[in-house]
Amino acid sequence: MEYGGNGQDDLERIINLGKQKLSKFGGVVPLIVVGLFIVILLKSAIYSIGPDEVGVVRRFGKYIAPPVGSGLHVKLPFGIDKVIPVKVERIFKQEFGVRTLRSGVRSQYSTGSYLDESLMLTGDLNILDVRWIVQFRVKDPVQLLFNTRDPEDNVRDISEVVMRRFVGNYSVDEVLSTKREEIDDLAHIEMQKILDKYETGIQIVTVKLQDVNPPDEVKPAFNEVNEAKQERERVINQARQAYNKVIPRAKGEAEQTIREAEGYALDKINRAKGEAERFSTVLAEYKKAPDITKKRLYLETMMEVLPNAKEKYIIDPKQSSILPLLNLGQKGGVK
């Protein structure tokens, strides 16, 4: 296409028109440029940190100062200083074997299967579907930013390794019931030890076992085993109940018999000792006055015997026979 002389004239005319337009705003343009520069400067130099955050300042990529707290702060503009906000008050959560879609009064959980992270082998070679959560927070933002690339993946990997190891140290019954809190505490301590060793800047807040169940494929067999164990416990408890009824009663009766025998023996011994002492006393008196002691013993004996006699016969010692004195037609004799 050929433009000719007319095209050149049109171009010059447009340039002149633009110069005339700009000349009318000659005093305003510098002010606009200065204002834009100030706005850009302030925007790149002033920054804010939230109430639950701290800011890590880097200059040309290098960490230069302690983390700054919440509020407005000033830094070198135009990308010289860069600030990374880190949430240090927020509690983060990792779930294993389950995923929460929406939390609240009625939480909604994912229906997906996560058996690759929840299936574990116990110490007695049983398989369990173990679901648990780990809550953690940032305790050192500098370590978090510069010593680890993906903190959440680190927490997940360490948690799986530690939990599998501790579940493998216990039997299936202990994991299901009696040792759950102990496993929580041990896993918490071990995870924190590993994270501190690698200086990740993460603090574990909670490790909690949620649901521990056998896999669906083995639930029927597992239920049968549990029923058999419950039946065994029931029989054992019944036997113990019967034992607790019979044995203490038998022990009580035996103790009672022993005490009665001991009492009887003590009574006999004391009586024998008393009789022996009485005999010794009488013997001593007898030696002092034999005739008097004989009469006294005779009289005391007769006082004890005569009240018990129903019929009494008094016989003259000179009589050679008692027949003349007996009245054979009567029941009683001479009194």
Average pLDDT, the chain: 82
Tell me the pLDDT tens digit for each residue of 123-170.
988 889 999 999 999 999 999 999 988 999 999 999 999 999 999 999
Query: What is the predicted pLDDT for the residue at 335?
Result: 44
Q: Give the residue-averaged pLDDT of 221-238.
A: 87
Tell me the pLDDT tens digit for each residue of 266-297.
989 998 988 888 888 877 877 777 777 778 77
Q: Give the residue-averaged pLDDT of 84-100.
A: 91
Structure tokens at 171: 């039997």
Residue 325 has pLDDT above 70, yes or no: no
Give the start-end residues of each E strand in the chain: 46-49, 53-59, 62-63, 71-74, 81-87, 92-96, 100-102, 108-109, 119-121, 127-138, 202-213
CATH superfamily of 92-214: Band 7 domain (3.30.479.30)
55-64, 217-226, 303-312: the lowest-pLDDT one: 303-312
Ordered by start, the domain boundaries in the chain are 35-87, 92-214, 223-293
Is 0.85 topped by the overall pTM? no
Query: What is the predicted pLDDT for the residue at 333?
Result: 46
Query: What is the predicted pLDDT for the residue at 204?
Result: 96
Which of residues 13 and 82 earns the better pLDDT score? 82
Residue 14 has pLDDT above 70, yes or no: no
Cα(113)–Cα(121) distance, rounded to whole angstroms? 18
Query: What is the predicted pLDDT for the residue at 4?
Result: 40
35-44, 228-237, 262-271: the lowest-pLDDT one: 35-44
Q: Give the residue-averaged pLDDT of 221-250.
A: 88
Share of the chain above pLDDT 70, in %: 78
Residue 248 has pLDDT above 60, yes or no: yes
pLDDT grade for 22, boundaries at 50, 70 and 90: low
Which of residues 97 and 226 earns the better pLDDT score? 97
149-153, 227-231, 234-238, 300-304: the lowest-pLDDT one: 300-304
Query: What is the predicted pLDDT for the residue at 135?
Result: 96
**Is-contact 94 87, C-beta < 8 A?**
no
Cα(228)–Cα(234) distance, rounded to whole angstroms? 10
Cα(160)–Cα(164) distance, rounded to whole angstroms? 6
Q: What number of other Cβ atoms are within 10 A of residue 132's Cβ?
A: 25
**3-class DSSP state of 137:** strand
Cα(119)–Cα(68) distance, rounded to whole angstroms? 44
Could you tell me the CA-to-CA distances from 246 to 197, 240, 249 in Å, in that order? 61, 10, 5
